[in-house]
């Protein structure tokens, strides 16, 4: 059994991680930490885990995590970087769901997050864990940096087109909408039910923190430099991301449907829908799957890709467990084959 510790499990991502791991046949969760809720039984905070998780939260410390084979960080940015170097020195595998180790350029990270990066040596060894791209590197990684939710949906949507070199990489557009859980589990007026219900808005248009992460990933797929316009939106639902991606086709003979079907033919968690489809966020609710559809409206030179994921699952906790499975030599799908929640 893989002994697991979770740092910061009181948020939505941490709760989703627990939901998945308590059904994983090769995992034993041994430590769950929280500074604010130390001593509180996990099932009191999350009654849905009653009878499945019998642990109480404990104060975070290297000593508390010493019995673990792998430690997940489900914390806000700037938290993991303070503890990760010590855990790496202790020989632990670390899987970070925050943004601390996603961007390889420390100066660029500091520009977008407004904080000094205090673990730059660890950053150098971090593996960006989009499995469909970096599967082989994940197998031997000690520090695994999980992609963000928007970056997952956008990168998987553009990847077949960029790898094939059939679109103009200098003029990419991503319009993406997220459910409110993407903002985290904290009390903010802007996230109250009465503020978001029956409304729809864009945010972060001048620049969103996920932009440099997305461009970093897309540049790794492209033979030429990438330029992306990224506009996120808040939609009044609890969970899910819908990304509508636009690109200009440079090869008029490209069969874009075939490109997607061939690229993802052997990917368990990417589902390319039949030609003409329109994926819905409800079809991926609670599962570790990205559903994609590709269109060429009116047969012109604009390619439109529709990409849907659950922001808490394939966009966070599910993908983290997928990376753990790869790292520990398990079948990638172990513990992750649930059907979507319907309705």
Query: In Å, how far are 32, 59, 84, 222, 320 from 79, measured between CA atoms?
Result: 15, 14, 9, 32, 18
- Residues 214, 228 contacting (CB under 8 angstroms): yes
Which helix (H) or strand (E) segment is 335 a member of? none
Burial class (CB in 10 A: 0-12, 13-18, 19+), 253: exposed
- Residues 6, 32 contacting (CB under 8 angstroms): yes
- Coil, helix or strand for 308? strand
Which helix (H) or strand (E) segment is 269 a member of? none
Q: CB-based contacts of 277: which residues, under 8 Å, 6+ apart? A: 293, 306
Q: Rounded to whole angstroms, how far apart are CA atoms 257 and 4? A: 40
- Residues 66, 30 contacting (CB under 8 angstroms): no
Q: Rounded to whole angstroms, how far apart are CA atoms 221 and 204? A: 25
- Residues 322, 131 contacting (CB under 8 angstroms): yes
According to DSSP, the residues that pair with 304 across neighbouring strands are: 246, 295
Q: At what angle do helices 318-327 and 12-21 cross, to 10 degrees?
A: 50
β-strands 228-234, 201-202 pairing: antiparallel
**Active-site residue list:** 149
């Amino acid at each position: 059994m893989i002994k697991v510790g979770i740092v910061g499990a009181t948020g939505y991502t941490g709760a989703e991680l627990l939901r998945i791991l308590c059904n994983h046949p090769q995992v034993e969760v041994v430590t769950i930490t929280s500074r604010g809720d130390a001593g509180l039984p996990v099932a009191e905070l999350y009654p849905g885990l009653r009878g499945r998780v019998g642990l109480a939260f404990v104060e975070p410390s290297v000593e508390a995590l010493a019995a673990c084979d792998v430690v997940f960080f489900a914390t806000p940015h700037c938290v993991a970087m303070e503890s990760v170097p010590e855990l790496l020195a202790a020989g632990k595998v670390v899987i970070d769901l925050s943004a601390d180790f996603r961007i390889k350029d420390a100066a660029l990270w500091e520009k977008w997050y407004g904080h000094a990066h205090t673990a730059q040596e660890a950053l150098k060894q971090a593996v960006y864990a989009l499995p469909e791209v970096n599967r082989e590197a994940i197998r031997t990684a000690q520090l695994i940096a999980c992609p963000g939710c928007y970056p997952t949906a956008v990168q998987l949507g553009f990847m077949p087109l960029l790898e094939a070199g059939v679109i103009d990489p200098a003029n990419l557009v991503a319009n993406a909408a997220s459910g409110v859980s993407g903002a985290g589990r904290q009390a903010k007026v802007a996230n109250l039910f009465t503020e978001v219900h029956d409304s729809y808005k864009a945010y972060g248009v001048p620049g969103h923190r996920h932009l440099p992460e997305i461009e970093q990933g897309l540049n790794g797929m492209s033979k030429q430099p990438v330029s992306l316009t990224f506009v996120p939106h808040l939609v009044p639902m609890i969970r899910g991301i819908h990304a509508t991606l636009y690109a200009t086709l440079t090869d008029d003979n490209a069969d874009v449907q075939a490109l997607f079907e061939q690229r993802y033919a052997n990917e368990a968690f990417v589902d390319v829908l039949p030609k003409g489809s329109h994926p819905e966020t409800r079809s991926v609710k609670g599962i570790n799957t990205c559903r994609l559809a590709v269109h060429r409206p009116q047969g012109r030179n604009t390619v439109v890709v529709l990409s849907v994921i659950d922001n808490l699952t394939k966009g966070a906790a599910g993908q983290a467990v997928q990376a753990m499975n790869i790292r520990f030599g398990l079948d990638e799908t172990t513990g992750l084959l649930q059907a979507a929640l319907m309705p």
